[in-house]
Structure 1
């Protein structure tokens, strides 16, 4: 494994030297071999295995410092409180990818915390990041999961664990906020140059590299959130320190995939005011970008920053419309705008499962529509909508069979339901990782039928509806 250390070269104003502190009797219980192959990582190498686990210290490993707006309030200094950046590796695409260990022990930014992670949260992040990748949503990835015999204390003692994760970058909006509000202009300029060189090199070829980079950040953020909304994903903690400058979904804590359709759904039970409710995610994305743009107020004029931000809503709506057109099997955004509002009203009033609806809609008219009508109380209302939908389909002059097949490749049969993750965690805590691996298998190819795993596509049972996730997850 060829481990590079570009971020560490920025110096100690950007990070602190930190090493992974292995857990008591830790074991590598899951390893993402396909991702490792892409990154030229050979886990069979004893040297590589010891380096990744923390048994041998990475020569320039570090924890990053940054700030962030958390639930609307500004925290001037945060940082990697339980994470260690081991370094970067190059993938088969020649791009650099960070190797980052979560739960690696205390760092200078732990704020009196233990710097550890529990098996529960590591499993949830492993499953979520791989599920999102399979849904073609930009995300960090899980490379390895370590469990241990070390007790970590939260509300009660739990099994300690570490998660080795991969992302194009771990630079957050909060990095820029930290240097801007600290008045560290030289370091802010260094960070800008670093991001241009490593993440947005095409912008360097233009006459206005900073403007072009920020436009791309806005575009990537808008498209990421459009994808969240289309699949029914809620992040749960959309703080600026959890927003990636490279447009990847980071930091899976109290996330959720929508089951019963509820536009104002809040998956995070620590979010008492519903700041990050599902319907508010697009607005919060813009709010976070406003916070980011303020950091460049000494580099660009206000009108320039406003113009950059104005691209957000157009990009998000355009991309969302395109995604929903494919989900519905339509070829007109006008039809999408006409059909979605009454559809969402039906789904909400019927408390219908979001993913199940679109999967059934993907099947043949004879099978799918009859199954859909069996799902609702007000059959006449849904029948009326289906008639309008069929009219739009006929006007599109597309062959239903081919469209149906394409719809099944964008409307997943399997999503990461909270109760499934909960069941997998309970089994893993008893040393049984089979349910975890079985779930991971279908989430890695969620559009396939997997008839042997039909039970994993079932709606949430009553006991599962009372499960809660919070920031402690």
Structure 2
């Protein structure tokens, strides 16, 4: 395994040397072979196994320092409190990817914490990151999962675990906030140059490389917000230290995939004020970008920064329009505007399962509304909407069956319902990883039928709807 250490070359102001501390009787229980092949990592190699597990110390492994706005309040120094950046490896696409171990033990930024992760949170992140990737949403990936016999104390003792994560980059908005508010201009300039060189090299040829890079960051953030909204995903902790500068979904904590359509749904039990509610996510994305742009107030004029931020809304709207056109089988954004608001109103009043509805819509036959009508109370209201929808669809230049087939490739049959993750976790805690692997398989192929796993596509049972997730892991 050919590890690079470009971030370590930035110097001590950016990180602290930190070693992975293996857990008691640690075991490798899951390994992402397809991702490993893409990264040219041979898990059968004894040397590779020892490096990835932390048994062999890496001279350049480190934990990053950064700041962040957390639930609206600024924390001037945060950092990798339980994460260690092992280094970077080159993928088959020629790009470098970070290897980052979660739950690796205490770091200088643990803030009196133990630096550990529990099996529960590692399984949830493994499932979510791979599910998001299968839904074509930029995300960190899961490469390896380790469990152990070491007890980690949260509300109660839990099994300690580590998760080896892969991402194009782990630099967050909070990295820039840290150096800006510390008044460390030289380090801020160094970080800007690093990001231009490693993540946005195409911007170096622009008249204003920084301006060009920030426009791309804004657009990537807008697109990821649109993608989250289109599939009903809620991050749960949209702090600036959890927002990726490379436009990836990172730091899966109390996330959720929306089931019954509720615009103001809050998946994080710790978010008492609903700051990061589903409907507020696009606005929070812009708020976080505002925080980021302040960090460049000594590099660019105020009007330039405003102009950069003004790229956000049209990018988000246009990308969301394209996504919803595909989900609904429509030919134009105007058709989406004409049909989507009233549909969402019906879904909200009926508390209908968001993803189940779109999967049923993908199979809708002309004039045959029964499969959808059987899911609602107000059949007349839904029938009127379906008639309007059909009137628009029949004008398409594409055959009805062809459009349905296309819709089935973007509307998943399987999503990561909270109760499914819960059941997989309970089994894993007993030493049985079969439910986890079975669930992982359908989540990484969410558009396929998998008739043998139909039970994993069903709505949550009543007990599963009351499960809560929080920031306790």
Same topology, TM > 0.5: yes
Partner of 1:210: 210
CA–CA distance in structure 1, aligned partners of residues 368 and 78 of structure 2: 50
Partner of 1:190: 190
CA–CA distance in structure 1, aligned partners of residues 378 and 13 of structure 2: 62
Partner of 1:290: 290
1:254-269 map, 5 Å:
254-269=254-269
Using the TM superposition, give the Cα deviation of residue 205 of structure 1 relative to its aligned residue in structure 2, in angstroms: 1.1
- What secondary structure does 2:24 align onto? coil
1:350-369 map, 5 Å:
350-365=350-365, 369=369
* 1:49-101 Cα deviation digits (max 9, x unpaired): 00000000112000000000000000000000000000000000010000000
Alpha carbons of structure 1 residues 368 and 203: separation in structure 2 relative to 1, 3 Å: farther
Residues 1:252 and 2:249 are matched in the alignment: no
CA–CA distance in structure 2, aligned partners of residues 368 and 218 of structure 1: 43
**TM-score normalised according to structure 1 size:** 0.99
How big is the alpha-carbon RMSD for the aligned residues of Structure 1 and Structure 2? Answer: 0.8
Partner of 2:306: 306
Partner of 2:58: 58
Residues 1:222 and 2:214 are matched in the alignment: no
Q: Structure 2 regions of 5+ residues with no counterpart?
A: none
- What secondary structure does 1:395 align onto? coil
Residues 1:241 and 2:241 are matched in the alignment: yes
Partner of 2:318: 318
Contact 2:366 2:390 in 1 (8 A): no
Contact 1:362 1:368 in 2 (8 A): no
Residues 1:21 and 2:21 are matched in the alignment: yes
Contact 2:144 2:165 in 1 (8 A): yes
Alpha carbons of structure 1 residues 103 and 367: separation in structure 2 relative to 1, 3 Å: farther
Partner of 1:92: 92
CA–CA distance in structure 2, aligned partners of residues 91 and 393 of structure 1: 42
CA–CA distance in structure 2, aligned partners of residues 59 and 406 of structure 1: 50
Alpha carbons of structure 1 residues 94 and 41: separation in structure 2 relative to 1, 3 Å: same
CA–CA distance in structure 1, aligned partners of residues 270 and 111 of structure 2: 19
**TM-score normalised according to structure 2 size:** 0.99
Runs of 4 or more, structure 1, over 6 Å off, are none
Using the TM superposition, give the Cα deviation of residue 398 of structure 1 relative to its aligned residue in structure 2, in angstroms: 2.1
- What secondary structure does 1:365 align onto? coil
Contact 2:103 2:116 in 1 (8 A): yes
Contact 1:100 1:166 in 2 (8 A): yes
Partner of 2:71: 71
Contact 1:361 1:369 in 2 (8 A): no
- What secondary structure does 2:369 align onto? helix
1:89-238 map, 5 Å:
89-238=89-238
- What secondary structure does 2:143 align onto? strand
- What secondary structure does 2:394 align onto? helix
CA–CA distance in structure 1, aligned partners of residues 460 and 366 of structure 2: 26
Residues 1:82 and 2:82 are matched in the alignment: yes
1:410-425 map, 5 Å:
410-425=410-425
Using the TM superposition, give the Cα deviation of residue 370 of structure 1 relative to its aligned residue in structure 2, in angstroms: 1.7
Using the TM superposition, give the Cα deviation of residue 368 of structure 1 relative to its aligned residue in structure 2, in angstroms: 7.1
CA–CA distance in structure 2, aligned partners of residues 180 and 79 of structure 1: 15
CA–CA distance in structure 2, aligned partners of residues 38 and 446 of structure 1: 21
CA–CA distance in structure 2, aligned partners of residues 18 and 166 of structure 1: 18
CA–CA distance in structure 2, aligned partners of residues 163 and 400 of structure 1: 45
Partner of 1:459: 459
* 1:341-381 Cα deviation digits (max 9, x unpaired): 11001001111000000000001416973211100011010
CA–CA distance in structure 1, aligned partners of residues 369 and 199 of structure 2: 46
CA–CA distance in structure 2, aligned partners of residues 154 and 366 of structure 1: 54
Partner of 2:345: 345
Contact 1:261 1:348 in 2 (8 A): yes
Contact 1:364 1:401 in 2 (8 A): no
Alpha carbons of structure 1 residues 415 and 367: separation in structure 2 relative to 1, 3 Å: farther
CA–CA distance in structure 2, aligned partners of residues 143 and 369 of structure 1: 43
- What secondary structure does 2:88 align onto? strand
Count of residues in Structure 1 that have an aligned counterpart in Structure 2: 473
Contact 1:360 1:368 in 2 (8 A): no
Partner of 2:433: 433
CA–CA distance in structure 2, aligned partners of residues 167 and 319 of structure 1: 23
Contact 1:131 1:415 in 2 (8 A): yes
* 1:235-283 Cα deviation digits (max 9, x unpaired): 0000000000000000000000000000000000100000000000000
CA–CA distance in structure 1, aligned partners of residues 471 and 24 of structure 2: 25
* 1:196-236 Cα deviation digits (max 9, x unpaired): 00000000011110000000000000000100000000000
Partner of 2:279: 279
